[in-house]
């Protein structure tokens, strides 16, 4: 049906409805267009993280036949990488793509929905979110801000960082200047390290000139573009972000104003894009690790010695226990995370870990 | 707008269009209803597997605002659990939910899209499907039948089975009567075992009366309802289905007849439902393993000894190499699976496995 015929038909229907005493337009809800904007923490064309929001917006547009489109503003546009929470809360943007642990200054409990040191890996965390009560706890925290929070893509287990020197004992952390943000930094500080916050653009030079001794970033999927492998010989495995899940945020009122089918389209698109990001993270990590090993065969990949790992874990447990005494919601979230991890880890160990162990030399 | 008003309005528009010399109905594409049927291999209310198709159909209905609905027929209805391929090929059903390895009699190469012994775990296989060329290879195999094949939900790593006796050496497989279907059965047969096919309803009695010595099923998520833990003391970890991915099938012509937005809705709903099934499998496995350990503390959970595992792996590799010489497409698929596994496994080992190892005593 071309447009002019549609208009004529609509006029006739309007006439008919008027004759029937009805003044409403014939236009059903499914002709109304929804034009949303999403603000993301990342810069434009940031790999993997940025693909998650683009994939989500593409699926929404295709599934809604163009009735619902979402424009993405990267950090260069809105100039507030860590302003996403406020943008979505105020409704200035209907949506955001970021990470919940950035909002611990807004709400202390927000940080636990991304990852915690010695917590669950991606497959376990997805089970917790969707089947183990995680979504309900996240709603409890975010409801009070008029924000809906959803999983936004998993990085997989992150690497412990690039180090100039080998770590042989807990003593080696004393005075160690390391870029490692947030909770993990607090843990290492208790062991004597000096966590330092440096803008990402200056990290390479800081590591090269020994302004810092180590830098934690993500993993092979995103580290190689930073160039750290050219100047630091040790690449340590991770303990601090075993399955960091990014976050889609939606302004509750904006969501409520959508017709039910577009609400469903948005929700499913966010979920599929988030799951896909973990698959993409795995894929790119595999590719980049292969090229790293080929082009930089002298990089030494290590895990911290058992004694060091035990000390870090004990410090971490103490800190979490301290948190739990301060607020009942914190206690509830940490208990849920811990109980669930213990239950599902028994299965991970008996299934995928036992399977992988069979390949060990 | 209620229905009677809608009908009257439509009549008026039809009249108007007739006056304009147009005989087409006013119904735009987005008023047309699509009523599909899906045949699944599973019985009614089969847990987890059955939830995947129900979740998919629910999402399709919600996202399409009821324009597109999919009725699910379980095996009790269509009476042909392993007839799904033919149903979808002929168009008798527009869709199916099953597993690709059931069709190796139709096309030898179909089996490799579910899982292979010593192959990839779920997270690795998802990366292969969506980012590593897996979907393209699956299309190559299924295109010739007018069928589209999609991932349909992952079981996670399956357990090696319930055994009446401990396995201490390869010799212990000699004459062992075991229910283990397909490719894994062929491998064990080469080591002297006697794979036996018994209908699922008779398995418990067969194991109890020593008609068989061992039975492979799925894992804690689905084994407990079978009751094997009451009569077999050993529960072995798996090697043969490290991440079995079920399958959604769609008749190509039926898909082509959908408007673009409903094609997108169907594709995204299948993907989200498939990913969700892995999370659900993890969740239920964790729960059921906990209750198994609590209620049946004497169950001995074991991995086969290294020597046994090496013998199985060698036999498996020989068999796969033999397959690869027979058909260039088989060779192409097996090379892709093997090369991709080697690349991504290096990352799995350095990331999630190294992380899990840190918790070992």
pLDDT at B86: 98
Residue B31 DSSP class: G
CA distances (Å), origin A338, targets A114, A314, A335, B28, B287 = 14, 15, 5, 53, 14
Write down the residue that tokens 């190559």 correspond to: B140
Q: What percent of chain B has pLDDT over 70?
A: 91
Q: Is A56 on the interface with B (CB under 8 A)?
A: no
Contacts of B238 in chain A (CB under 8 A): 351, 354-355
- Structure-token pair, residue B221: 């998520």
Cβ of residue A62 closer than 8 Å to a chain B Cβ: yes
* Residue pairs spanning A and B at CB distance below 8 A: 247
Tens-digit pLDDT profile for residues B253-294: 999 999 999 999 999 999 999 999 999 999 999 999 999 999
Q: Given this model, what pLDDT does residue B359 score?
A: 83
Give the closest residue to B312 by CA, choosing from B180, B139, B208, B209: B180
Q: Is A361 on the interface with B (CB under 8 A)?
A: no
Which residues on B lie below 8 Å from A62 (Cβ)? 260-261, 264
B227, burial (CB in 10 Å: exposed 0-12, middle 13-18, buried 19+): middle
pLDDT class for B17, splitting at 50, 70, 90? very low
Residue B242's Cβ-count burial label (10 Å; 0-12, 13-18, 19+) is buried
Give the three-class secondary structure for B190. helix
- CA-closest candidate to residue A244, choices A337, A111, A127, A136: A111
**Using the beta-carbon criterion (under 8 Å), do B159 and A28 form an inter-chain contact?**
no
Interface residue B50 vs chain A (CB under 8 A): no
Instruction: Please tell me which residue of chain B has the smallest CA distance to A133.
Output: B283
Structure confidence at residue B182 (pLDDT)? 84
How far apart are alpha carbons A104 and A146 in whole angstroms?
A: 17
Enumerate the domain spans of chain B: 30-154+243-283, 161-242+297-328
Can A32-154+244-283 and A161-242+297-354 be said to share one CATH topology?
A: yes
CA–CA gap between residue B230 and residue B223 (Å, rounded):
11
Contact A121 B356 (CB under 8 A): yes
Give the pLDDT score at A105. Answer: 96
Q: Which residues of B touch A22 (CB under 8 A)?
A: 5
Contact: B64, A261; criterion CB under 8 Å: yes
pLDDT of the residue at A27: 41
**Residues B339, A290: contact at Cβ < 8 Å?**
no
| Cα–Cα distance for residue pair A303/B354, rounded to 1 Å | 7
Tokens 């964790």 locate to B286
Cβ-contact A185, A195 below 8 angstroms = yes
Which A residues 206-245 touch B at CB under 8 Å?
219-220, 237-239, 242
Report chain A residues whose CB lies below 8 A from the CB of B347: 220, 282, 285-286, 289
Find the closest chain A residue to B289 by CA distance: A347
Taking the Cβ of residue B117 and every Cβ of chain A, the question of whether any pair is shorter than 8 Å is answered with no
pLDDT given for residue A361 in this prediction: 62
Q: What is the per-residue pLDDT for A316?
A: 97
- Cβ of residue A271 closer than 8 Å to a chain B Cβ: yes
Question: pLDDT digit string (tens) for B29-77?
Answer: 668 999 999 999 999 999 999 999 999 999 999 999 999 999 999 999 9
Rounded (5°) CA angle B149-B150-B154: 130
* Interface contact B316, partner A, CB < 8 A: no
Given this model, what pLDDT does residue A14 score?
44
Residues of B in contact with A340 (CB under 8 A): 286
For residue A125, what are its two tokens?
């965390």
Q: Determine the residue of chain A that is closest to B293 in CA distance.
A: A346
Rounded distance between C-alpha atoms, residue B306 and residue B303, angstroms: 9
A309 interfacial to chain B (CB closer than 8 Å): yes
At B30 the pLDDT is 65
A165 backbone φψ class: left, alpha, beta (φ>0; ψ -120 to 50)? beta
Q: Is A26 on the interface with B (CB under 8 A)?
A: yes
A303 with B354: Cβ contact below 8 A: yes
DSSP state for residue B158 in the 8-state scheme:
P
Sequence-ordered list of residues with C-beta below 8 angstroms from that of A354, at least 6 positions apart, any chain: B157, B237, B238, B303
| Superfamily for the B30-154+243-283 domain | Bacterial extracellular solute-binding protein, family 7 (3.40.190.170)
Strand partners, A37: A71
Q: Does A159 touch chain B (CB under 8 A)?
A: yes
Q: What is the CATH number of domain B161-242+297-328?
A: 3.40.190.10
Neighbour-count burial of A18, counting CB atoms closer than 10 A to its CB (0-12 exposed, 13-18 middle, 19+ buried): exposed
Tokens of B37: 């049927």
Dig out the tokens for A81 from the structure. Answer: 């990488």
Given CB atoms, is B20 within the 8 Å cutoff of chain A?
Answer: yes
Specify the CATH number for A32-154+244-283; select among 3.40.190.170, 3.40.50.300, 3.30.230.10, 3.10.105.10: 3.40.190.170
A92 close to B (CB below 8 A): no
For residue range B157-189, list pLDDT tens digits in order.
999 999 999 999 999 999 999 999 888 999 999
Q: What is the CA B205 to chain-centroid distance, rounded? A: 27
Q: Is B274 on the interface with A (CB under 8 A)?
A: no
User: Nearest CA of chain A to the CA of B79: how many Å?
Assistant: 32
User: Minimal Cα distance from A347: which residue of B?
Assistant: B286
Best of A279, A307, A357 to mutate (most B CBs within 10 Å, chain B): A279
Nearest CB to B123 within list A24, A127, A282: A282
Pairing of strands A214-215, A161-163: antiparallel
Contacts of A122 in chain B (CB under 8 A): 123, 352
Burial class for B36, CB neighbours closer than 10 Å (0-12, 13-18, 19+): buried
Nearest by Cα to A6 from B29, B15, B26: B26
**Taking the mean position of all CA atoms in its chain, how far away is CA B179?**
19
Nearest chain B residue to A279, by CA? B127
Q: What is the 3-state secondary structure (H, E, C) of chain A?
A: CCHHHHHHHHHHHHHHHHHCCCCCCCCCHHHCCEEEEEEECCCCCCCCHHHHHHHHHHHHHHHCCCCEEEEEECHHHHCCCCCHHHHHHHCCCCEEEECHHHHCCCCHHHHHHCCCCCCCCHHHHHHHHHHCCHHHHHHHHHHHHCEEEEEEEECCCCCCEEECCCCCCHHHHCCCEEECCHHHHHHHHHCCCEECCCCHHHHHHHHHCCCCCEECCCCHHHHHHHCHHHCCCEEECCCCCCCCEEEEEEEHHHHHCCCHHHHHHHHHHHHHHHHHHHHHHHHHHHHHHHHHHHHCCCCEEECCCHHHHHHHHHHHHHHHHHHHCCCHHHHHHHHHHHHHHHHHHHHHHHHHHHHHHCCCC
Which phi and psi (to 5°) does residue A81 adopt? -50, -40
User: Taking CB atoms and an 8 Å cutoff, what residues of chain A touch B156?
Assistant: 123, 351-352
**Minimal Cβ distance to A268: which of B63, B219, B357:** B63
Question: Are A65 and B9 an interchain contact pair (Cβ–Cβ within 8 Å)?
Answer: no
What is the distance, to the nearest Å, from the Cα of residue A133 to the centroid of all Cα atoms in its chain? 18
Q: Encoding tokens for residue B7?
A: 């009908």
B65 and chain A: CB distance < 8 Å anywhere?
A: yes
B278 vs A: CB within 8 A: yes
- Binary contact (A238, B351; C-beta < 8 A): yes
pLDDT tens, N- to C-terminus, chain A (361 residues):
344 444 444 444 444 444 443 333 334 456 899 999 999 999 999 999 999 999 999 999 999 999 999 999 999 999 999 999 999 999 999 999 999 999 999 999 999 999 999 999 999 999 999 999 999 999 999 999 999 999 999 999 999 999 999 999 999 999 999 999 888 999 999 999 999 989 999 999 999 999 999 999 999 999 999 999 999 999 999 999 999 999 999 999 999 999 999 999 999 999 999 999 999 999 999 999 999 999 999 999 999 999 999 999 999 999 999 999 999 999 999 999 999 999 999 999 999 999 999 887 6
> Does the CB of B359 have a partner CB in chain A at under 8 Å?
yes
**At B214, is the secondary structure helix, strand, or coil?**
strand
The yes or no reply on domain A161-242+297-354 and CATH 3.40.190.10 is yes
| B117-159 confidence digits (pLDDT tens) | 999 999 999 999 999 999 999 999 999 999 999 999 999 999 9
């Amino acid at each position: 049906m071309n447009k002019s015929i549609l208009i004529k038909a609509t006029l006739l229907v309007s006439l008919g409805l008027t004759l029937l005493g009805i003044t409403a337009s014939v236009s059903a809800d499914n002709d109304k267009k929804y034009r949303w904007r999403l603000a993301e923490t990342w810069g434009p064309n940031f790999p993997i993280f940025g693909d998650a929001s683009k994939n989500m917006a593409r699926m929404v547009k295709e599934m809604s036949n163009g009735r619902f489109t979402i424009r993405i503003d990267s950090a260069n546009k809105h100039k507030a990488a860590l302003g996403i929470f406020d943008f979505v809360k105020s409704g200035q943007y209907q949506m955001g793509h970021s990470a919940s642990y950035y909002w611990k200054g807004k709400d202390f409990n927000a940080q636990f929905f991304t990852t915690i040191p010695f917590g669950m890996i991606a497959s376990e965390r997805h089970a917790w979110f969707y089947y183990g009560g995680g979504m309900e706890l996240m709603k409890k925290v975010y409801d009070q801000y008029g924000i809906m929070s959803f999983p936004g893509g998993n990085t997989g287990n992150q690497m412990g960082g690039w180090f100039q020197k080998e770590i042989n004992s807990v003593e080696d952390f004393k005075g160690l200047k390391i870029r490692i943000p947030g909770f993990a930094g607090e843990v290492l500080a208790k062991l004597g390290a000096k966590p330092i916050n440096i803008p990402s653009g200056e990290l390479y030079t800081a590591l090269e000139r020994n302004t810092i001794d180590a830098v934690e970033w993500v993993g092979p999927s995103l580290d190689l573009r930073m160039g750290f492998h050219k100047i630091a010989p040790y690449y340590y495995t991770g303990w601090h972000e075993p399955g960091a899940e990014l976050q889609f945020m939606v302004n509750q009122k904006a969501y409520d104003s959508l017709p039910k089918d577009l609400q469903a389209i948005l929700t499913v698109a966010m979920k599929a894009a988030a799951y896909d990001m973990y698959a993409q993270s795995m894929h790119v990590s595999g590719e980049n690790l292969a090229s790293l090993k080929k082009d930089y065969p002298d990089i030494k990949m290590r895990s911290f010695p058992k004694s060091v790992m035990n000390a870090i874990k004990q410090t971490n447990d103490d800190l979490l226990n301290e948190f739990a005494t301060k607020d009942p919601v914190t206690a509830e979230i940490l208990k849920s995370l811990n109980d669930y991890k213990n239950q599902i880890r028994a299965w991970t160990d008996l299934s995928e870990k036992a399977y992988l162990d069979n390949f060990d030399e």
